[in-house]
A and B are shown apart, each in its own frame.
Chain A
Amino acid sequence: MAVSESDILRSEVRWAMIVGVAVAVIFAAVIYTGIELHVNPPSNIETIDPKALHLSNEFTESNLGTRVEPEGRITTRIVATQFAFDPPCVVVPANEPVTLRLTTPDVIHGILVTGTNVNTMIVPGYVAQVHTVFTKTGDLLMPCHEYCGLGHSQMWATVRVVPRESFRPDAEGRVACD
């Protein structure tokens, strides 16, 4: 044989080193964006009784949608049900930190907001929370991306991103579509 065992071993070791370097570079990129650019997987462990959302303080119907909290934080609360989001349209300001809080009383749903990195599951019994900053104005589609039943394909909402000057909360701090 022209190629000896040691030649093969050497090439395999080199190849393993190349792959090791590639994996290390990818890890470094992920850690850099996580620490420096604050791009992280949404993580929130918070339980809620899915049978009593309408009785909870936070996810009652009148409290859904976008609200500027007394301390200035902008929070959008959405309930995902088979097969609609309540409210079906929410308004958020551009270039401001926004917190999306979602829950569901029935089955597992999921959301993504097109053109952004917002993407999370919505699991009964838990509150899903995503912090983000929307940078482009316009109506963004927010479909359910977890099959939740026969009407799944009809389940979507709109995230209306408006310029900061057009984001006008009412006396209670609420902002709604139309």
Chain B
Amino acid sequence: MLFLLLGRSALAGKTRSEDTGLSQADLDTVMEEVPKGALALSASAVLLLLCGWFFVYFFIFVPRGTVG
């Protein structure tokens, strides 16, 4: 939160495009890609977790036999 506030106050006086030479259109183009990357990353993480769960469940837990 503090980081966000500091970041906003820094941007209040001067726009980022002045610092980097990037136009607003450039930034918009980058932002369009951000959600796709985040989704790909989170989807991969969840997929790996699910694969791990199913591997342990069906290849380790279930073969160990019935219990009840």
On A, residues with C-beta under 8 Å from B are 1-3, 7-8, 11, 15, 18-19, 22, 25-26, 29, 33, 37-43, 115-119, 130-135
Contacts of B50 in A (CB 8 A): 22, 25-26
Q: Is the CB of A2 within 8 A of B67?
A: no
Known A15-B39, A18-B46, A22-B46; judge A39-B31 contact (CB<8 A): no
Tell me the dominant secondary structure on chain B's binding face.
Answer: helix
Contacts of A43 in B (CB 8 A): 68
Q: Is the CB of B35 within 8 A of A11?
A: yes
Known: A8-B35, A117-B64. 9 other contacts (CB 8 A): A3-B34, A3-B35, A26-B53, A29-B57, A29-B58, A117-B65, A117-B67, A133-B65, A133-B66
What is the interface size of chain B, counting residues whose CB is below 8 A from a CB of the partner?
Answer: 22
| CB-based nearest B residue for A114 | B64
Query: Could you tell me the distance in whole angstroms from the C-beta of A4 to the nearest C-beta in chain B?
Result: 11
Q: Is the CB of A118 within 8 A of B35?
A: no
